Structures are given as structure tokens and as C-alpha cells.
């Protein structure tokens, strides 16, 4: 059996949220109206930025607007925008996570990414960072390769759980020996399944989930990166005001 390392991307590898950068490019391309961003998304961002709102609510709102915005557009047009975003921003990563990817590869582990970002973006990031395989949110297309305005999400805990089981069967993975890296509540199911869960700059919601699960709490590690320093923190020492 093989050991694997499962990585989230947004907020875990990439230092911000790729969807935010996608929105900027799509506004420039007039796929999304700028006033739509300010009306529908910015209030959620402002609440999160002031630490009075949920990070997950902000992400979900962006995903909803994205799903509606790309409806009717051809795959090649959206893929072109995504390619440029990853080309320009794909190396804006946390040092901790980038080093862990290198370490796992040096150990011969399977290095896999499971992300709520669009599958087209996850594919580009998997190529850039030499992941062995990937899963992302799927936006279905019609027979003319135009987006239908639907989505099969990969940002929620249940979907990530299924993805890990699929990878387990595909690569004969020993989950007890494996690692998972994530930052939000959607990553919690990965932590339940592996022997070595690592919270990377976690949200309060994720920390609460871990603290209330004695099994995950016992095996969890926490890494916090600020500026050019990495802190290893005991989860019991985190302050949840």
C-alpha cells in the first residue's frame, strides 16, 4: 500500500482565494459586471475581512456567482482566462505547504490535490506543482462545450470524503499512514480519514470541528505562516475569541 498526501489549494497552498483573482479577470472580460461583484460578493468579503463574517460564506457566494456567470460560455474561453490566472498567480504559495509537497515527493508518497476551485483551475495547478492527480468542482457543459450553469461541488466535506475514497481505491492508499492539509471546514472529512491531519492557517470553524472530535484532535497538527515565519502550534493553545 502507498502513503499519500492530500492538499487543499485555496488558503492552504495558494495564499489567498483563486476565485477572487478569477473574478477580477472576468470583470475585465465583461463576463461579470463590476456592480455585481460589489452588490453580491463584496459584502461577504468585507464581513470576513473585518472578522465578523464566515470565510466559508464568502467562498460559497463567489462560487454561486461564478456558476451563473459562465453559463453559455464556451469551455475554451474560460480555460484561457484560468490559464492566465494560474500563469500569473500560481506560485503565490505558502512556503510551508510548498516545502511539504517537496518533502512528500522526496519520500515517494502520492501527492494529490482535492480543491473546491473549478476543475479547470485545479488541473492547471496540478500541472504547475507536479501533483500526481487532482479533483475539483465540475461545471458541466452541453454537447457544444458550453457551460450549463450547473455545478458538481468539491468544496464541501462530503465531496472531499468521496474523493479520498476514490483515490484510495485507485492508488491502493494506506489512509492511516497518509497526510491531509487544509484550512476550512470543508477539509474536515479529510482529517477524519487520515493518520496525519495538518491544519494550515485554519479558520475558527475548522478548529472548532477538530477540538470537538477527540480522535482528530489527538492526531492533528497546526501550522501558521505569517510573513516569512512558520509557527507550529498545539491546537489546544489556539485562542478562539
Q: What is the pLDDT of residues 128-159, one digit of tens each?
A: 999 999 999 999 999 999 999 999 989 888 99
Instruction: In whole angstroms, give the CA distance from residue 221 to residue 96.
Output: 13
Q: What pLDDT does 100 receive? A: 97
User: Per residue in 67-126, pLDDT tens?
Assistant: 888 899 999 999 999 999 999 998 999 999 999 999 999 999 999 999 999 999 999 999
Q: What pLDDT does 38 receive? A: 61
Q: What pLDDT does 44 receive? A: 72
Instruction: In whole angstroms, give the CA distance from residue 12 to residue 190.
Output: 14
| Cβ-contact 110, 171 below 8 angstroms | yes
User: Per residue in 177-225, pLDDT tens?
Assistant: 999 999 999 999 999 999 999 999 998 889 999 999 999 999 999 999 9
Instruction: In whole angstroms, give the CA distance from residue 86 to residue 134.
Output: 15
Q: What is the pTM of this model?
A: 0.90
By residue range, what is the domain housing residue 43?
4-237
Q: What pLDDT does 83 receive? A: 93
Q: What pLDDT does 58 receive? A: 76
User: Per residue in 29-71, pLDDT tens?
Assistant: 888 777 766 677 777 777 766 666 677 777 778 788 888 888 9
What is the CATH number for 232?
3.40.50.1000
What pairs with residue 126 in β-bridges? none
Q: What pLDDT does 64 receive? A: 84
| Cβ-contact 187, 180 below 8 angstroms | yes
Question: What is the number of structural domains in the chain?
Answer: 1
Instruction: In whole angstroms, give the CA distance from residue 150 to residue 197.
Output: 32
| Cβ-contact 41, 60 below 8 angstroms | no
Nearest to 92 by CA among 171, 181, 194, 18: 18
H or E stretch covering 111: strand 110-118
Amino acid at each position: 500500500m502507498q502513503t499519500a498526501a492530500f492538499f487543499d489549494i485555496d488558503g492552504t497552498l495558494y495564499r489567498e482565494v483563486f476565485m477572487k483573482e478569477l473574478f477580477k479577470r472576468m470583470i475585465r472580460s465583461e463576463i461579470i459586471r463590476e456592480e455585481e461583484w460589489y452588490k453580491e460578493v463584496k459584502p461577504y468579503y468585507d464581513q470576513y475581512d473585518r472578522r465578523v463574517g464566515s470565510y466559508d460564506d464568502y467562498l460559497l457566494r463567489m462560487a454561486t456567482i461564478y456558476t451563473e456567470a459562465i453559463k453559455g460560455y464556451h469551455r475554451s474561453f474560460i480555460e484561457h482566462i484560468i490559464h492566465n490566472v494560474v500563469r500569473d498567480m500560481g506560485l503565490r504559495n505558502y512556503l510551508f505547504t510548498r516545502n511539504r509537497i517537496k518533502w512528500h515527493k522526496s519520500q515517494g508518497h502520492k501527492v494529490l490535490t482535492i480543491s473546491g476551485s473549478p476543475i479547470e483551475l485545479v488541473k492547471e495547478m496540478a500541472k504547475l506543482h507536479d501533483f500526481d492527480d487532482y479533483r475539483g468542482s465540475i461545471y458541466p457543459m452541453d454537447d457544444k462545450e458550453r457551460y450549463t450553469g450547473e455545478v458538481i461541488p468539491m468544496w464541501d466535506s462530503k465531496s472531499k470524503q468521496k474523493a479520498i475514497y476514490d483515490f484510495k481505491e485507485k492508488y491502493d492508499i494506506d489512509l492511516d499512514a497518509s497526510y491531509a492539509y487544509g484550512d476550512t471546514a470543508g477539509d474536515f472529512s479529510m482529517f477524519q480519514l487520515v493518520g496525519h491531519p495538518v491544519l494550515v492557517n485554519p479558520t475558527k470553524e475548522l478548529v472548532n470541528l477538530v477540538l470537538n472530535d477527540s480522535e482528530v484532535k489527538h492526531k492533528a497538527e497546526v501550522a501558521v505562516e505569517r510573513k516569512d515565519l512558520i509557527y507550529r502550534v498545539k491546537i489546544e493553545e489556539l485562542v478562539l475569541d
